[in-house]
Amino acid sequence: MSLKRTTPLASALLLATALLSPPVASAAPGALAVPDISLANVQAHLSSFQTIANNNGGNRAHGRPGYRASLDYVKAKLDAVGYTTSIQQFTNSGATGYNLIADWPGGDADNILMLGGHLDSVSAGPGINDNGTGSAGILEVALTVARENLKPQKHLRFGWWGAEELGLIGSTYYVNQLPAAEKSKIKSYLNFDMTGSPNPGYFVYSASGQPSGSLALQQTLEAGFTGKVATELTSVGGRSDHAAFARAGIPVGGLFTGAEVTKTAAQASKWGGQAGVAFDRCYHRACDTSSNIDNTALDRMTDVIAYSLWTLAGTGTPPGGEKFTQDEDLNLPDQATVESSLTVSGISGNAPTALVLGVDITHTYRGDLVIDLVAPDGTAFRVKNSSSDSGDNLVTTYTVNASGEAANGVWKLRIRDAGPQDVGKLNSWYLQF
C-alpha cells in the first residue's frame, strides 16, 4: 500500500457500512470448479520474500537488490510452468525500476482479465504483508491456473508492480505507455494489496466512483466470501495500483485486509481480533515480517482471488478436454521408485498428440526426480530426467504425444528418486485429454 497517508476524515471514508456478501448466481453449468489454493504454497512464497529481504539489507524496495531478487523469483516460477513473461523498465528517483508482466497462453486477446499487485516494500522493512501477501497470492493463483491447465475464454494477464510505495510509479508507467488500442483490450483489472493483515478486516473495493463495469467486479469479489465471513466495502481511492487503470476507464476491483486504520469494536465483534488496534501495527515498519501475518485471512483472501479469476474468466471444459485427476498423497522415499495409478474411461479412440500431464510434488531437491508417464499398455514416456536443479518442489505441466496409445485404461505416473538424502511427496497429478 502506497506511502500516501490519509486525514482522519479520509480514514473514516475508507471504512464503509458493513455489508454481508450478497448472493449472486452460481457458476454456469459445466464450469470448472474453483480450486482451493494451497495456503502452504503461499506461505512458502512469503518465506522466500523474507529470505530475499534478509539477504539484501532487510528490504525489497525500489532500486534495491531485494526488489530485483523478488522479481526474479516470481519470474522463474512463472517461466517454469509456461507463462510468457516480460520485464518492463522505468526510472524513478534516479534508480531503475521494474514491472513483471505474465500472460497465460490462449483466450481472447481482445478481452483481457488482469490481476495485479505491487511487489516492492518500503525501505524500512521486508514488506511481507505489504505487499508480499498480495504478490504471493497472485503468484500461487497463477501457478494453479497452469497446474489446472485452465483454458479460459478470456485472456489472462498478471502484473507485479515496482515502486508503488513511491507513488504508484510502476503501474502508472505500465498503463500510460499502452497504446489506446491495447488499453481497450483490458476489460477488468483486479488489485490485491495487503491480504494477510495480523488484525484483519475483510474489505472489498467499492465500485462507487469507479469506471462503469466495476460493480460486477465488486459483486463477484463479495460473492467469493459468501458463507465464510462478512465483508465491508472500502473506498481505497488513489492508494494502490488500481488507480492508474481506473483513470484509463478500465473497470477495477480489489481486496484489502487493512493497514494503519484502527479496528472498531463493531468490526472486532464481527471479525475477531482487537478493537482500537490497527489492522496492521507493522504497516511500513521493520516488523512487517513473515510473523506479521494472519494465516486465516491470507487463506480466505487468496481463495477469493482464485474465485474471482475462475468466475470472471469464462471457463469450461473444452471439447476433447476432459480431465482425470489422482489426488491421493504418495510418499517419495529416498532413492526409490513409486507408481501412482489413474483410471481413464469414456474417451473415444486414442490419446491426443498433446496429452497434458500435470504434477504437484513436494520435494527438497527436485533435481533428483526422474518421471515417466506409463500408458495402459506399458509404454513409458519420459517427461523429466534427473538434473542439477537444486530447487525444491515441482508444480508444472508436461505435454506428451500419446497418439499411439488407447486413451481408456489405467495410466501410471512413475517417479524415481535418483539421488541421496532428499525425500518428498506426490500431492496430485492429472491427465487432460
Query: What is d(CA 339, CA 119) in angstroms, rounded to the nearest whole number?
Result: 39
What CA–CA distances, in Å, run from 141 to 147, 309, 376, 386?
A: 10, 9, 33, 28
> Is 232 annotated as catalytic?
no
Angle between helices 39-54 and 134-147 (to 10 degrees): 130
> In residues, how long is the chain?
433
CB-side neighbour CA atoms (13 Å) of 283:
23
Q: What are the CA-CA distances from residue 230 to residues 33, 263, 305 (Å)?
A: 23, 15, 16
Set of cell numbers at residue 227: 458463507
Catalytic residue among 140, 148, 164, 165: 164
- Residue 66 to residue 99: CA distance in whole angstroms: 14
Residues marked active site are found at 164
